[in-house]
Amino acid sequence: MRIDKYLWCVRYYKTRNMVTEACKKNHITVNGQVAKPSKEVFPTDRITFRKDQITQIITVLDIPESRVGAKLVDIYRKNETSPEAYAHLELLKLSKEHYRKSGTGRPTKKDRRDIDEYGNDIIDEDEVE
């Protein structure tokens, strides 16, 4: 099976076109070699790709006939991505929520008070130590 079709079938990408674009940008490797969208994938192949700021590593266990349901994905692949990578993604999400969105204008009076209070909390913790 082609790499673009495989990654689409096991639900890592929403469309095959997205996989094709990732291949063209050299984001996908099979057994350490950069893969074109037409690269054939076989069981025991190791696929590495970068998606959502995480380097995903999967091993092909079997080839599906067509796109499979989310509950059946584990039959066809083994996820070898480290748990630290997922923890890092959670930290990135939390840090993005902390910052104000651009284009929201000046901070309101309440925003300013919250910012000042946050700064005072940090200073208070330093004095305790």
pLDDT value, residue 60: 92
pLDDT for the residue numbered 47: 92
pTM of the model: 0.67
Q: Note whether 91 and 72 are same-domain residues.
A: no
Same domain, 68 and 89: no
Residues 6+ apart with CB under 8 A from 98: none
- Which of 74, 75, 63 is CA-nearest to residue 5? 63
Low-confidence residues in the chain, pLDDT < 50: none
Residues 12 and 57 reside in one and the same domain: yes
Do 1 and 51 lie in a common domain?
Answer: yes
Same domain, 38 and 9: yes
pLDDT of residue 31: 92
Domain holding 54, by residue range, is: 1-80
